[in-house]
Structure 1
Amino acid sequence: MNYVISLLKEIITRRRLIWDLSKADFKKRFVGSYFGVVWMFVQPVVTVLIYWLIFGPIGFKSAPPVPNASYVQWLVPGIAPWFFFAEALNCGTGCLQEYNYLVKKVVFRVEILPIIKLISCLFVHGFFVAIMFVVFLISGKAPQISWLQVLYYAFAASMFALALTYFTSAIQVFFKDMAQIVSICLQFGMWLTPIMYSEQLFLEKGLTMAPTILKLNPFYYIAAGYRDSMLTGDWFYMRPTLTVYFWGVTIVMMLVGLKVFKKLRPHFSDVL
């Protein structure tokens, strides 16, 4: 617990440095790129278009479980946080290798490197959330006060991603295949979360236990929360069991991740 408290104090003390490094990390992604920041949106937009063609009115014609909502309106709030989570975990896993010159500095607290990567990914997510709002407005959805709740679920997704990143980034230093393992797990994770499809499909097939099993995936809470915020207007306290479960799992994973990170930290500079 003392380790966690000292880390929080370090974050507060070096908040300006963290902010500046996060902005620099965001900008360097597009150095030398002709279209620059435009490339941020190409993959998400193309992905949404593909899934819309497959599951929307042209393909399997999947009907969203929310009344008076199109498939795109249902899909975007689910897939937007997933893009953020996947990018944060992928980028965060390799952050110690990417910033190995900072890891080797005795005076630098390497625990803030995953946070820098996370904030850099949050910049991208902020743009995507803005696009999501525009899509809803253009499609005729009136703004709701519950849209502001996206900030809470973005914070929840950030803490979940950070908890995993502390573990994966520490292991990646010694086990280079961790990045590939994370990438494969994310591919499975996307389909284990009802993002493109509704869990109602399982009920129609008589698989009554499937929705309960899907809810064991902590990211279910995030995807459902974004949709609650944008479509139904439900608040997080209306899912009390899932809220307690999500934060319980996230806190445990954060403590485990930090413990592994702390144990392996003295050997980082030797390996890198």
Structure 2
Amino acid sequence: MNYVISLMKEIVRKRKLIWDLAKADFRKRFVGSYFGIVWMLVQPIVTVLIYFFIFQVGFKSVPPVPGVPYVLWLIPGIVPWFYYSEALNCVTGCLQEYSYLVKKVVFQVEILPIIKLISCMLVHAFFAGIMLAVFLCYGRLPMATWIQILYYSFAASMLALAFGYLTSAVNVFFKDMAQIVSICLQFGMWLTPIMYQETMFADKAPWFVTILKLNPFYYVVAGYRDSMLTGNWFWERPRLGIYFWVVTLVIGLVGLRVFKRLRPHFSDVL
């Protein structure tokens, strides 16, 4: 616990350095690219369009929320997932990417995952803005609960960081960890009800609905949809919220413990 407290103090003390490095990391992604930040938007937008045409136009799926077009139901689920998956992938490889900083004795390597997380958060801000614009274009009036996407984005950030401390530390010694994370995220996308509604299994396989809710990211996706579509507040899911934060805290403490144990050997391996 002392380690966690000292890390939080270090984050506060070096907040300007963290912010500057995060902005530099964000800009570095698009250096040398003709279209720059446009590439950041293309893949997610194309993905949303593909799912829209497959499920709503092709299969003519019934909208999970009555009176709400499928695309408006899909976007609040897929936007946080893009952020979470990108953040976890980037954090996992951050120690290799910034190996020159890891080798500096005076540098606090624990802030590298946070730098990567903030860089991904800047990208997420663009997508959140696009999501709001789409809702307005469909004639959806803003609701007070829209502000909750800040809370649920923070929740997704903490879950990615909790896993990220563990995976980034292990990835230094076991290079296949990055591939394992990528594969797990591919499965995770389908084990989270993003493209489908979990109630479709309620009659034939109610046990599967329970399994889906054991996935901590279910809380984030459900929360985004509560905020953008139904107008429900986060305290209306008390048990799910408590479960999410307990799981995230446990994973985070385990990840930090492993990170601290392996940290003295990072510079030798890198």
Q: Does the alignment reach a TM-score above 0.5?
A: yes
> TM-score, normalised on structure 1?
0.98
Name the residue aligned to 1:142: 141
What are the superposed Cα offsets for residues 203-256 of structure 1, whole Å, 9 maximum, x if unpaired? 25x212221110000000000000000000101100001000000000000000
Corresponding position of 1:23: 23
Q: Which amino acid aligns with 1:239?
A: R
**1:39 aligned partner:** 39
Identical-residue share of aligned pairs (%): 72
Q: 1: CA distance between counterparts of 2:10 and 2:144?
A: 35
Contact 1:64 1:71 in 2 (8 A): yes
What is the CA–CA distance in structure 1 between the aligned matches of 2:193 and 2:84, rounded to whole Å? 15
AA of the residue aligned to 1:123: L
In structure 1, what residue type is equivalent to 2:108?
Answer: R
TM-score (norm 2): 0.99
Aligned counterparts of 1:77 and 1:60: Cα–Cα separation in 2: 21
| 1:46-78 Cα shifts (integer Å, max 9, x gaps) | 00011111111x222222321211000000000
Contact 1:64 1:198 in 2 (8 A): no
Aligned residue type for 1:104: K
Count residues in correspondence: 270
Who is 1:249 aligned against? 247
Shift of 1:146: 0.4
Which residue of structure 1 aligns with residue 12 of structure 2? 12
State the AA in 2 paired with 1:233: G
- Secondary structure in 2 matching 1:209: helix
The answer as to whether partners of 2:64 and 2:70 remain within 8 angstroms in 1 is: no
Aligned to 2:227: 229
How do 1:165-184 and structure 2 match up within 5 A?
Answer: 165-184=164-183
Q: Distance in 2 between matches of 1:263 and 1:111?
A: 12
- Asked if 1:153 corresponds to 2:121, the answer is no
Alpha-carbon distance in 2 for matches of 1:7, 1:32: 35
Listed as ranges, the gaps of 5+ residues in structure 2 are: none
Aligned equivalents of 1:41, 1:114: Cα separation in 2: 23
Higher mean C-alpha deviation, range 246-255 or range 62-71: 62-71
1:94–1:169 contact (8 Å) kept in structure 2? yes
Q: Please give the per-residue CA displacement for 1:63-101, whole angstroms capped at 9, x wherever unaligned.
A: 232121100000000000000000000111000000000
TM-align CA RMSD? 0.7
- Where do residues 97-136 of structure 1 align in structure 2 (5 Å cutoff)? 97-136=96-135
What is the alpha-carbon distance in structure 1 between the residues aligned to residue 63 and residue 187 of structure 2?
Answer: 22
Provide the C-alpha distance between the structure 2 equivalents of 1:129 and 1:47, rounded to a whole number of angstroms: 16
Q: Could you tell me whether the CA contact under 8 Å between 1:167 and 1:260 is conserved in 2?
A: yes
Map Cα deviations across residues 91-120 of structure 1 (whole Å, 9 max, x no partner). Answer: 110000000000000110000000000000
Distance 2:193 2:35 in 1: 33
Q: Using the alignment, how far apart are the partners of 1:243 and 1:149 within structure 2?
A: 13
Residue ranges of structure 1 left out of the alignment (5+ in a row): none
Amino acid at match of 1:38: V
Which residue of structure 2 aligns with residue 63 of structure 1?
62
